[in-house]
Amino acid sequence: MDLDELRQGINACDQIIMEEFAKRMALCKQVAVYKQAKGMQIFQTSREKEILDRVRSQAPEGMDGSAALLFETLMDISKYLQYRELHKEVRSYVFQPLHITADSTVACQGMPGANSETAAQQIFGLDCKPAFLPTFADVFDAVQAGSVEFGIIPVQNSTAGSVVQAYDLMSEYNFYITRTTVVEITNCLAVRPGVKLADVKDVYSHPQALSQCSHFIVKNGLKPHEYSNTATAAQLVMQSEEPIAAICSENCA
C-alpha cells in the first residue's frame, strides 16, 4: 500500500475509535446515575486496577504500558464526565467573594516544598507559613473546625486532568472557592547522591505526578508507586538506603 492508502486505513480506524468512544462515554454517564442513586464515590481504585490489569494482559506484546496509559486517559475523561453530571452544585460554590488578608490562616496538604505551599505563597504572599497536614481530608477538616480560615487544594492539572479526591471532598463539605492560582510545575527525578538512573527500578510520587511523567516511566522501565504527595516522596528517597527515586519539584529535590 502507498502512503495515501495507509492514511485512509488510519482514518477508518479513527472513525471506529470515535464511535466506540461515544458509546463508552454514554455508558459512563449511566454509571454516574447509578452511583448517585447508591451514594457511591466516583473514584474506585479497585475498579480502575481491575481494568488496567485486564488491559495489560490483553495488550499486544510490548504494548502493555502504552495500552495502560491509553485507558488511564479514558478513565480520567470518564471521571470528569461523571463529576460534571453529579456535582453541578459545586459550580455554585465557585468564586464567592471573600476578603483575604496577610494575617489569614491557611492549611495545605504535604510538607515544605510541596506545590500547595507555592500556591499558598502566590495567594497570601511569600511570608505565608501554611500549616501542613497529612491528607486533603485533614485540610477540609481543619477549615470545618475553624482552626484555619482557608485550605489550599489542587483541583485541576493541565496534563493529568482533575484531582479526583479534591472533587470528592468538595461534594461532601459546604465550602466554596474564594481564589484560584496557577502554579507552574516542573517535575524532576530525584535520587540520593551517587545513585545512577540505571540502578533505579522504583519511583515514588503523587498519582498526578506519576501520570504527568508516565511516558518517561514506561520508557525507562520504572515501577511507579503512589505516595501521598511529591514532597513526602522526596523525603522517603532521602531517608531510604535503597536506589529509589521520587518525582518532585526542584524545591523538594
CB of 140 within 8 A of CB of 96?
no
pLDDT, tens digit, 9 for 90 and up, residues 135-183: 889 999 999 999 999 999 887 665 554 566 776 787 678 777 778 888 8
What global pTM score does this model have?
Answer: 0.55
225 alpha-carbon distance from chain centroid: 13
Facing residues of 247 across strands? 189
| Residues 33-36: contacts with CB under 8 Å, at least 24 apart | 33/85, 35/82, 35/86, 36/86
C-alpha cell at 185: 510545575
pLDDT, tens digit, 9 for 90 and up, residues 205-241: 988 788 888 889 998 999 999 987 788 888 899 999 8
Share of the chain above pLDDT 70, in %: 87
Give the right CATH number for 3-86 from 1.25.40.10, 1.20.1250.20, 3.20.20.70, 1.20.59.10: 1.20.59.10
CATH 3.40.50.150 assigned to 92-170: no
C-alpha cell at 189: 527525578
Element (H, E) at 190: strand 188-190
CATH 1.20.59.10 in the chain, residue ranges: 3-86
CATH of the domain spanning 188-248:
3.40.190.10
* Nearest in space to 74 (alpha carbons), one of 112, 141, 21: 21
